[in-house]
Amino acid sequence: MVWVRPLSLEIRVFRRGLRLTRRPQLVWIFADCEYVCLPFAFAMFALLFVHVAILCAAISGPNFIARKITFRNTAGAENHQAVALRVNSDQAVFDSCSFEGYQDTLYALANRQFYTGCTISGTVDFIFGNAIAVFQDCNVLGRLPLQTQRNTFTAQGRKVSSDPSGYSFQKCTVGAAPDLQSPPYPIESYFGRPWKAYSRTVFMQCTIQQVINPAGWLPWDATNPFTDTLYYGEYQNTGAGADTSKRVAWKGVHPNMSPEEASAFTVNSFISGPSWIQEANVVFQPSL
């Protein structure tokens, strides 16, 4: 393994676009102070109502490690897609980081990714993409959306059944950010919806707060519901929102996974993680 000198941020707020695209074997970005914040105030939708490549933090080089960094998009709930961080780095590790935004906060785009002790907050599809990602001991928090919106915590984009991608949340807390705890108008929140036909997301051994609607999941839309081909699972969750008796009765929904089924979504099996996560010097759980 080739080691690269860590990039240390010694300031608390860094207001510029961050692009890390080099191909070294290991890059670290960490905070010398308690936390570093990288805020952005740009919406992907802009005024042309098309996706455009504009300023946000983006990581594409392999073996990236971030610790105690806050990635924040300050565009607000009314500005459509507004990504705080885009990640397609393989073997990327995020430790004790925060991802703050509204719609499309964290673009977990591609390759193997591991998040531990992080907080991710947003409204519509705020964790989305086609990565093979495991989230452990993270806080996944819905925020107050526009009155016409419903919160969807995930929108995973697996396109074909042979694609290894998916999102696995293990021992996380799924709940509400402060602005959603006493909302001024009724808000429905769901685990997620399928961005693509074979979308795959599981919640295992998590604490599910009352914020999640008893149905659990939403279709993408009326034309493309993807309810038969997706894979959505739950395993040994607890909390006020963990009751699976009223979950949607879709072919692709598995509200009571077996230990064998759940084991396929662990660090060991899903992202072959122990060998490379250990390099980041973080605590992780390899199995159930």
Residues with active-site annotation? 125
* CA distance readout (Å), 246 to 168, 190, 215, 254: 22, 13, 6, 12
CA neighbor of 67 nearest in space, from 282, 285, 288: 282
CA neighbor of 288 nearest in space, from 193, 197, 168: 168
Output b/e per residue, 71-89; b: 16+ Cβ within 10 A.
bbbebebebbbbbbbbbbb
Distance in angstroms (rounded) separating the CA atoms of residues 60 and 21: 5
**Which residues lie across from 66 on neighbouring strands?**
29, 94
* CA distance readout (Å), 192 to 11, 174, 205, 257: 35, 12, 17, 18
Are the CB atoms for 168 and 200 separated by under 8 Å?
A: no
